Amino acid sequence: MTEAVRLDQVSKVYGRGQSAVAALREVSVGIPKGSFTAVMGPSGSGKSTFLHCAAGLDVPSSGAVRLGGTDLTGLGENALTDLRRRRVGFVFQAFNLVSALTVTENITLPLMLAGAKVDRAWLDEVVHRVGLAGRTGHRPAQLSGGQQQRVAIARALVTRPEVVFGDEPTGALDTMTARDVLTLLREVVSALGQTVVMVTHDPLAAAYADTVLFLADGRIVDAMTSPTAEKVAERMTRLGAWT
């Protein structure tokens, strides 16, 4: 099975000396292409650090991260910026849309920044798939929260990235809207073969994934395939997440 992302012995230490915090401790994991992975763990367990290191947003203190065939270790800031623009997509809790731009302009922004051409057929497919076909000329303020997150997902997909990383992508949405957005992410994996890695604290959200990775104190302590919300919640309770 081909891996979209591979971490080998990745450690991340913030600060120095007495104030040093080990956020990740020798994490090794491979994320298969075309899979949907959820990353869970108690607050402070290293979820954000894991996502940032895997996505090239942050540089590990030691160890290696590979995206597709590329070893990110030793890439300069310019090369990393280019890689983030062309080869990964991001969906955040706060939708991070540009309020002055239309839906279409927001979606194609990463292409503009990368100096890449818009593939009209692919743009149309992405817009249809996220259910925004009638709203391409709207501005973010004219859309609901769920629709805004659909714009952000379309923006993440438009460059045909190797991996889409989500940091609590449904954290700002009500339960019903969150369900729609998770169903969309699931479709993007199942129908388009997109690889998605999502940090969440919500067992209901994690249940949409193929695999759940559990972090505790900077280490991957467990992995669950075919997760259900109940099994995930039970595992989190044993990690002391809600005590």
Q: Which residues bind ligand ADP (CB under 6 A)?
A: 14-15, 21, 23, 41, 43-49
- Whichever of 20 and 118 has its CB closer to ligand ADP, that residue is 20
Q: What's the min distance (Å) between Cβ of 123 and ligand ADP?
A: 33
- Whichever of 41 and 110 has its CB closer to ligand ADP, that residue is 41
Q: What's the min distance (Å) between Cβ of 217 and ligand ADP?
A: 9
Q: What's the min distance (Å) between Cβ of 15 and ligand ADP?
A: 5
- Whichever of 97 and 236 has its CB closer to ligand ADP, that residue is 236
Helix (H/G/I), strand (E/B), else coil: 180? helix
- Residue 103's H or E segment, with its range, is helix 103-114
CA distance 54 to 34: 16
CA distance 119 to 121: 6
- Whichever of 57 and 80 has its CB closer to ligand ADP, that residue is 57
CA distance 37 to 208: 9
Helix (H/G/I), strand (E/B), else coil: 34? coil
Helix (H/G/I), strand (E/B), else coil: 198? strand
Distances (CA, A) of 234 to 98, 110, 210, 227: 39, 39, 17, 11
- Whichever of 43 and 99 has its CB closer to ligand ADP, that residue is 43
Q: What's the min distance (Å) between Cβ of 47 and ligand ADP?
A: 3
Between vectors from CA 108 to CA 5 and to CA 31, what angle results, nearest 5°?
10
DSSP code at position 116: -
The residue written with tokens 């940032």 in the block is 52
Q: What's the min distance (Å) between Cβ of 10 and ligand ADP?
A: 12
